[in-house]
C-alpha cells in the first residue's frame, strides 16, 4: 500500500511545470538536510542526527556561490508526549559577500496507525549581505570572457518564519512545508559586485517544498531508495528525482535529474558511523549552463540515545532518513 502511494506521488510530481527557482537553491543530496527545508522532520527517527552539507556551485564562474548547511535534529519527551527539536544554520557566499541564517525548529509528533504525523515550526534570523533572488550571470555574449555571478548588495537582519507537516513510516516519508511565511522585505542596492547604484525594494518570497522517499529492500544487503523533491515559489517550480542504492549498509551511490537544470551522480561510504558522500552536477540549462558543473560534499553522524524508553517510540530508525 505504501509503495503504491509513493508511485502515485511520483507521477503527480512529474506532471508539474518545470521552471527555475532562485531563493532556496536546489541541492543534489537534499534528503541529508531535509530538516532544513521542513521543520516537521525534527524528531523523525530515534536518532540524534547531525548533518553538514557543502556545495560549490557552478565551477568556472567568477564569484560563484558556495553554500553550507548544518542541520541538527533530535527527539525529545516532555509532558508525556514525543516531540522533535532542531537547529539549522545556513550560509552562502558570492565573492566577498555572505548571507546567513540561524533558526530553531520544533515539531509535535502524533502517532497514527500507519506511522507518525509531524507538525513543525521554524523561526530564525537572516543576516543578508546580498539579494539571492537578483542573481544573474554576466558575460554570456563574450565567449572569451569569464562569466561572473552578479548580485545586488543588501545589509539587513530579518526574521524568518516557516511551517511544515510530515508523515513518517517504517520505510518511507513525505513532507510539505511553507518557508518564508512572513516574506522578509529589504532594500537591495546595485553597488557591490557590478558597481551600480540603483536601489530596489525586494522580498524573500514564500516557497513550498514537497519531499518524499521510500526504502525498498531487495535483499539482505541491497536496497534502493527512490526520492523526489518539488520546489515552488515566486511563480517558478522545479522537480528533482533521485534513485539511490545502498550496499551492505556501507556503500551508497546513485543518479538524479533536475528539471530545467541537468543531472548528476553521487557516491559515498559509511565509516565508524559517519556517512560521507560526494555529488557532481552537470548543468544542461539554466544559470549553470556556462559552468563546469557543481560539487557537493556531505557528512552525517547519527547516534541513538538511551535516555528515552523504546516502549514509547513507535518510529523506527531508517537509514535513508
Give residue for cell 548547511.
Answer: 69
Q: Cα(100)–Cα(301) distance, rounded to whole angstroms?
A: 23
Q: Cα(321)–Cα(316) distance, rounded to whole angstroms?
A: 10
Cell numbers at 265, concatenated: 551522480
- pLDDT tens-digit map of 276-316: 999 999 999 988 999 999 999 999 999 887 644 444 444 44
Beta-bridge partner residues of 112: 115
CB atoms within 10 A of CB 74: 18
Please choose, from the candidates 72, 55, 52, the residue with its C-alpha nearest in 3D space to the C-alpha of residue 276.
52
- pLDDT tens-digit map of 56-81: 999 999 999 999 999 999 999 988 88
Give percent above pLDDT 70 in the chain: 83
| Band (15; pLDDT cuts 50, 70, 90) | very low
Mean pLDDT across the chain, nearest whole number? Answer: 87
Cell numbers at 184, concatenated: 522578509
Is the alpha carbon torsion for 35, 38, 43, 45 positive or negative? Answer: negative
Distances (CA, A) of 218 to 6, 21, 37, 246, 248: 17, 35, 30, 10, 12
Q: What is the pLDDT of residue 190?
A: 59
Is the alpha carbon torsion for 16, 240, 283, 233 positive or negative? Answer: positive
Please choose, from the candidates 4, 1, 47, 6, the residue with its C-alpha nearest in 3D space to the C-alpha of residue 173.
6
Question: Quick one: which H or E segment has residue 5?
Answer: helix 2-14
Q: Cα(140)–Cα(147) distance, rounded to whole angstroms?
A: 7
Q: Cα(80)–Cα(250) distance, rounded to whole angstroms?
A: 36
Is the alpha carbon torsion for 18, 22, 28, 33 positive or negative? Answer: negative
- pLDDT tens-digit map of 254-282: 999 999 999 999 999 999 889 999 999 99
Maximum Cα–Cα distance across the chain: 66
Beta-bridge partner residues of 116: 111, 168
| Band (146; pLDDT cuts 50, 70, 90) | confident
Residue 52, CA atoms < 13 Å, CB-side half-sphere = 5
- pLDDT tens-digit map of 246-256: 999 999 999 99
Amino acid at each position: 500500500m505504501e509503495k503504491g502511494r509513493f508511485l502515485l506521488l511520483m507521477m503527480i510530481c512529474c506532471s508539474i511545470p518545470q521552471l527555475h527557482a532562485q531563493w532556496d537553491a536546489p541541492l543534489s543530496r537534499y534528503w541529508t538536510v531535509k530538516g532544513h527545508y521542513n521543520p516537521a522532520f525534527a524528531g523523525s527517527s530515534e536518532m540524534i542526527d547531525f548533518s553538514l552539507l557543502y556545495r560549490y556551485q557552478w565551477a568556472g564562474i567568477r564569484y560563484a556561490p558556495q553554500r553550507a548547511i548544518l542541520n541538527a535534529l533530535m527527539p525529545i519527551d516532555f509532558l508525556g508526549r514525543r516531540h522533535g527539536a532542531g537547529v539549522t544554520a545556513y550560509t552562502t557566499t558570492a565573492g566577498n559577500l555572505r548571507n546567513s541564517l540561524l533558526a530553531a525548529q520544533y515539531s509535535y509528533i502524533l502517532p497514527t496507525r500507519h506511522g507518525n504525523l509531524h507538525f513543525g515550526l521554524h523561526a530564525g534570523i537572516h543576516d543578508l549581505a546580498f539579494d539571492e533572488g537578483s542573481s544573474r550571470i554576466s558575460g554570456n555574449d563574450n565567449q572569451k570572457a569569464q562569466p561572473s555571478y552578479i548580485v545586488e548588495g543588501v545589509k539587513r537582519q530579518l526574521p524568518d518564519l516557516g511551517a511544515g507537516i510530515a508523515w513518517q513510516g517504517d520505510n518511507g516519508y513525505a513532507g510539505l512545508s511553507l518557508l518564508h511565511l512572513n516574506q522578509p522585505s529589504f532594500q537591495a542596492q546595485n553597488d557591490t559586485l557590478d558597481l551600480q547604484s540603483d536601489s530596489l525594494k525586494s522580498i524573500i518570497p514564500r516557497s513550498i517544498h514537497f519531499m518524499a522517499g521510500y526504502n525498498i529492500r531487495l535483499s539482505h544487503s541491497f536496497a534502493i531508495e527512490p526520492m523526489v523533491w518539488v520546489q515552488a515559489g515566486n511563480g517558478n517550480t522545479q522537480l528533482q528525482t533521485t534513485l539511490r542504492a545502498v550496499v551492505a549498509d556501507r556503500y551508497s551511490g546513485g543518479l538524479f535529474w533536475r528539471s530545467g537544470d541537468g543531472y548528476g551522480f553521487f557516491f559515498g561510504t559509511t565509516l565508524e558511523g559517519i556517512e560521507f558522500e560526494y555529488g557532481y552536477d552537470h548543468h544542461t540549462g539554466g544559470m549553470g549552463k556556462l559552468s563546469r558543473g557543481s560539487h557537493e560534499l556531505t557528512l552525517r553522524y547519527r547516534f541513538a540515545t538511551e535516555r528515552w524508553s523504546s516502549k514509547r517510540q513507535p518510529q523506527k530508525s531508517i537509514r535513508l532518513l
